[in-house]
Chain A
Amino acid sequence: MNGPLLRVENLVTAFEVRGRSLFAKPLELRAVNDVSFTLAAGETLGVVGESGCGKSTLGRSILRLIEPTAGRIVWQGRVLTGLTDEEMRRARRDMQIIFQDPVASLDPRMTVSDIIAEPLTVFEPQLRRKEREARVQEMMEAVGLAPEMVNRYPHEFSGGQAQRIGIARAIVTRPKLIVCDEPVSALDVSIQAQIINLLRRLRDEFDLTLIFISHDLSVVRLISDRILVLYLGRIVEIGDSRAVFDRPAHPYTRALLSAAPIPDPKIARNRPRVQLTGDPPSPISPPPGCVFSSRCPFVIDACRTAQPPLIQTAGGQQAACIRLDNAFQSQAPSV
C-alpha cells in the first residue's frame, strides 16, 4: 500500500467548560492541541503521558468517538473527518478499541458468545448462525479462552480473562487498527505481561496496527515501535521507541523516565533523577509559551514566549524544545 495507514493532521479536540459563575462565558479546554503524526501499517505507536494530558481523548478522537474540533484524520487516503455518521460507522469496522476496565466494558447481561459476536451482527449481518459461532470459537481460541466458557457471563471472569474477551470482540471483524486505551492498567502485575504478550502475538497473526495508550512507560516499552509523548494536549516528543527510551530528548520525557520506578534497589538508589516540582497546570489555562515551561527544570525566558515546534534531535526523534542542544542534554542519562 502506498502512503501511511493513518495520517493525523493538526488535530484539535476542545471541550467547553463552564466558567466560574453561571453567567460567565464558557471556557475552552483543548484536550488535544495541534497533534500531527502518521502511522504505517503494522506499526505500534505508544502514546504516553500523565492523567489529563489528552491521551485517551486523542485515541477516541481518531475513531471519532469524540468529535474533533479541527484538523484532519486521513485513513488509507480517505478523509474521515468529513464522513457522515453512517459512513463513519461503516469505516469503524476496520478500527476497533479496547478499554481499560475490562469488566465494566462488557455488558453483564450478555454471554461471552453474544459479546464477541456482536460486532459481526452489525458489520456482517449476512453471516449464518453456524458461521458466526465458528468465528466466535476461532477468536476465543486466538485469545486463549477455553471453548467451554462460551455461555458464561462477564462477572464469572477475572480481570485478565475479561480483557481477553474484550480483545476477542475487537478483532472479530478483522480490523486493521486497534486503539488500546490503558488495556492492562487495571490488571494484576503478574497478568499484565500475559496480556501484552497476547497483543504482540495477535498483532503478528492478524496484521494489526496498534495505538497503545498508557500512563505506564514500562508497559508501553514492551510493545511499541514508536513513542508519542503528550503533555497538556501537545506532542512534546515523538520517535522510535529505542531512541526515546535510550536517549530521551525532551525534559519532560526525561523526567517521566527517571520517575518510573525500577524494581532493583541498587539502580533505584543510584540513578540520576530529573525531579519535577509542582503539579501539571490546568489545560484550561496552559502557561504561555512552551506547555511544559511552568515545571521544566531547564526553563529560560525564551521558553515562555511561544510553543516550540517539533525539532529533529541528534538521536533521530523529534522533540518540541528550544534547548535541545544545551548542556543539560549531557547530564543525567535516562534510566
Chain B
Amino acid sequence: MAALLSLEDYSIRFRTPEGDVQAVTDMNFTVAPGERVAIVGESGSGKSQTFLGVMGLLAKNGVATGRAMFNGVDMLKLRGAALDAVRGRDIAMVFQDPMTALNPSLRISRQLTEQLEVHQNASRAEAEKAALAMLERVGIPDPVRRFRLYPHELSGGMRQRVVIAMALLTRPKLLIADEPTTALDVTIQAQILDLFRELTADLGAALVLITHDMGVVAGLADRVAVMYGGRVVEEAPVDPAFEAPAHPYTAALLASIPRVDRDAADIQPIPGRPPNLIRLPAGCAFHPRCAHAQDNCRATPPPLSALAAGRRAACFHPVHEEKAA
C-alpha cells in the first residue's frame, strides 16, 4: 500500500544565537493510510518538531529540508492558500493544551462551523447540523446546550473533545495528536484515548500520536517509532517493540518507567540525561548513557537498519538481536 505520509531525508534545523540546533536529522519514515503510529521520545527528541515541520508550523528560525510527501505532494513546497487547503482538511492536528486551538471569544458552535464553511463551502445551517452531530459523536453530553457555550465554560476534558471534534469535522486522512492527553487527569485520559481509537477506526483516518508516555503508546498504537537526539532510533510494531526492544535506549527507557503494576526494585533509572541538541555527541547520540557502547558507537552514528519484518533499529550492538532476526 502506498504511504499516506512519507518523510524522506527529512531534517530540521534552528538557527539560534548559541549556534545551530539540529532538531531532526535524516529522518526516513512513512505513515500508511488508516494506521495508528506513535512517535515516542523525551523532551528535545524532535518528536513534536518533526510534525510541526510537516504542517509548516516551525518557528521562524527553523528550516525543514528533504521531502515530506503527503498524497504525492511535498508539504515543504506548499505555501499560502495551497498549504491551508491541506491543513485543517486532509491533515488535522490536536495539541496538548486545547485552549491553543480554541478561540476564547467564540462560542463552540462558531469554532466548529467555521471549519466547514471555510473548507467545504457548507451553508451555516448545514455546518451547524454536521457540527452538532460530531459533538455528539465525540461524547459530549447535552451537546445542544454546550454548543452555545464559550471554551472557558467547559472542563479540560470537554475542551479536548471539542478540539477533536473540530479536527475530525472535515474527515481528514491524517490526524496528528501531539501529547493530546498529557494535561488531562488519568481517568479523563482513558476516555480520550478510547475516543481516538474508535473515531480513527470509524473514519478510516491515520493517527500519528506524539507522546512521552510509553503506557499511552501501548494502549493505542499499532506501530511505534522511538526518537532520541533528533533521530529515529527504533521502529517496530508495538508488541515486539515492548517485548524485545532492539535499541538499548528503548530497552533502558522501558526498564526506567515507573509502573502501577511494578515495585521499585524492578525499576532501573537511565544514568545521565538527554543530549544537548546544539552539541550532540559524536557517533550515536545515546552512547554516553548506553551500557553497550563500544568504540564504533563513539565514532559514527549508526544507520537505521532493517532487522526483522517491519523492524528497524539504529544501533551497532542491538539488544535481542537473535530474537529479532
Contacts and interface: CB of A to CB of B under 8 A. Distances in A.
B313 interface: no
Interface in A263-278: 263-269, 273, 275-278
A319 interface: no
Contacts, number: 133
**Dominant secondary structure at the A interface:** helix
Interface string B241-277: 0100000000011101111111110011111011000
A262 B189 contact: no
A222 interface: yes
Contacts of A275: 190-191
Max count, chain A CB within 10 A of own CB: residue among B218, B259, B260: B260
B187 A200 contact: no
B320 to A, nearest CB: 16
B100 interface: no
Nearest to B240: A265
Contact of B190 (A192, A217, A273): A273
Contacts of A191: 269, 273
Given A158-B273, A194-B269, A335 B261 contact: yes
Given A259-B190, A263-B242, A266-B239, A193 B256 contact: yes
A222 B242 contact: no
Contact of B257 (A50, A158, A189, A277): A189
7 contacts: A50-B185, A50-B186, A160-B273, A190-B42, A197-B267, A261-B215, A279-B155
Interface of B: 42-43, 141, 155, 157-158, 185-191, 212-219, 238-239, 242, 252-254, 256-264, 267-271, 273-274
The 4 closest A-B pairs by CB, nearest first: A261-B215, A193-B269, A263-B214, A50-B185
Given A50-B186, A216-B186, A221-B260, 20 more contacts: A158-B273, A160-B273, A188-B42, A188-B273, A189-B212, A190-B270, A190-B273, A197-B267, A221-B262, A222-B258, A262-B215, A262-B259, A265-B242, A268-B215, A268-B218, A268-B219, A275-B191, A276-B190, A276-B191, A335-B260
Interface of A: 50-51, 158, 160, 188-194, 196-197, 200, 215-219, 221-223, 245, 255-269, 273, 275-280, 335
